[in-house]
Amino acid sequence: MEATARLLAPVIRGSTASVRWSGNLAAHSYDLAVRRRSGTWRTVTSRVAAKSYRLKGSAGESLRVRVRAWNVDGAPGPWSPARTLALGSRAEPSKALYGPSRQSYAQPLCEVGLRLGDLADELGACDHERAAELAFVQ
């Protein structure tokens, strides 16, 4: 069986992107390639079992990523379609999201150690507002 991989929705925070992917049952390990500007594709991680990778760039930078899977016999599958990532800048504290309406949670999330972004990465949540709801479930 041919090993295949597909990119999942990335989580972008400022000039850092968490790229995630999944593979079919034949997938044993993965390669991730990045293309910056009009340069050539560069494999940034090769034959790894991990299904995520954190990329750092510059504010306003656009880059393209693609992934492929390898099977247990050492045969590579096809590269996934490339995805363009647009890196932004870190949000101003005044624009930070606020927790749910309970008074004890009505503080800028940036004051709780920016843990929300880590939670969003772990959950695969694309929107920080949803991650905030999940973070404060009792």
Model confidence over 6-44: pLDDT tens digits? Answer: 999 999 999 999 999 999 999 999 999 999 988 999 999
- Number of structural domains the chain divides into: 2
CA distance 31 to 43: 7
Range of the domain at 70: 5-86
Q: What proportion of the chain, given as a percentage, has pLDDT over 90?
A: 59
The DSSP H or E segment spanning 47 is strand 42-48
Same domain (yes/no): 14, 73: yes
* Domain termination site, one of 86, 107, 125: 86
65, pLDDT greater than 50: yes
Q: What proportion of the chain, given as a percentage, has pLDDT over 70?
A: 64
Angstrom distances, CA of residue 72 to CA of 3, 12, 38, 62, 78: 9, 32, 33, 34, 15
* Domain termination site, one of 48, 64, 86: 86
Same domain (yes/no): 109, 45: no
